[in-house]
Structure 1
Amino acid sequence: MNLALWIVTGLLAVAYLLGGGFKVITPKEKIAASGASARWVEDFSDGGVKAIGAVEVLAAVGLILPAALDIAPILVPLAALGLVLLMIGAATVRIRRHENKLVAVDLIYVALAAFVAWGRFGPESFVG
């Protein structure tokens, strides 16, 4: 179970580090032009998109570093829980925009982050 949690955590961290970093350094217009799955940025200001990217980068860091450095490892499941909330918000935006096919992807991220939060709060906790 611990190995599965580390694998999922690592994959989530890479995905959110890359995706969040892209949002932080790329102008909103360029993100919107990158494909149909990125049209959601039209509903947000440039600063809002950058803030979402910054939250994603911080969550990616929070998934790995606290456990790796053994400094406040309780932050790992909290970061995962934050990603659950973020992706529920993302799914809500997709539903509002009638992008129903893309909601499934957001819900997969919700499930993966929820698995990490559950595992690190419960059976494979770093504390205790």
Structure 2
Amino acid sequence: MAALFLVAFFLAAGANKLGQSRRKLLASPNMQWVEDFSAGTLKLIGTAEVLGALGLILPGALDIAPILVPLAAVGLAVIMAGAIVIHARRKEFKVLPINVVVLILAVLLAAFRFGPNSF
């Protein structure tokens, strides 16, 4: 269940960054952090989020290199750790709980997929 939540969360977040211009992203009240990054960096973050989401589901579903599932979860946890740092530096504290929950879910998924529930 956590994996499906993470897939949906990161697909939506990544698609949002890939599908909209930097200017449009800045217009959103929860995306003010965008002003600290170039358009290229935003596209890189969005691509990493989409690929990470696909990495959570496709290897296990297709039974091809299932070790990629926990590796994708680790990558997404790193992205969320970076998000927490950025939001904390900018004093955007109201979005931190969401970032922390998503980070915890990604870390737990990685731990379970590397450990007792590996494929």
TM-score (norm 1): 0.90
Separation (CA, whole Å) in 2 of partners of 1:34 and 1:42: 11
Aligned to 1:55: 48
C-alpha distance after superposition, 1:63-93 (max 9, x if no partner): 0000000000000000000011110000000
- CA apart distance, 1:13: 0.4
Deviations 1:5-48 (A, max 9, x none): xx11011101111110110110011011022x111101000111
Which of these residues, 33, 38, 45, is aligned with residue 40 of structure 1? Answer: 33
2:117 pairs with 1:124: yes
Equivalent positions of 1:85-124 (< 5 A) are: 85-124=78-117
Amino acid at match of 1:22: N
Of 101-110 and 44-53, deviating more is 101-110
**Secondary structure of 1:71's partner?**
coil
Q: Normalising by the residue count of structure 2, what TM-score does the alignment of the two structures yield?
A: 0.97
Q: Distance in 2 between matches of 1:113 and 1:57?
A: 14
The equivalent position to 2:19 in structure 1, one of 12, 20, 25, is 25
For structure 2, the 5+ residue unaligned runs are none
- d(CA) in 2 for partners of 1:71 and 1:41? 36
Shift of 1:101: 2.1
Q: Which runs of 4+ in 1 moved over 6 A?
A: none
Q: Identify the residue that residue 15 of structure 1 maps to in structure 2.
A: 9
Give the Cα separation in 1 of the matches to 2:10 and 2:93.
22
SS at match of 1:109: helix
Considering only aligned residues, what root-mean-square deviation do their CA atoms show, in Å?
0.7
Aligned residue pair count: 119
Q: Measure, in 1, the Cα distance between the counterparts of 2:33 and 2:45.
A: 12
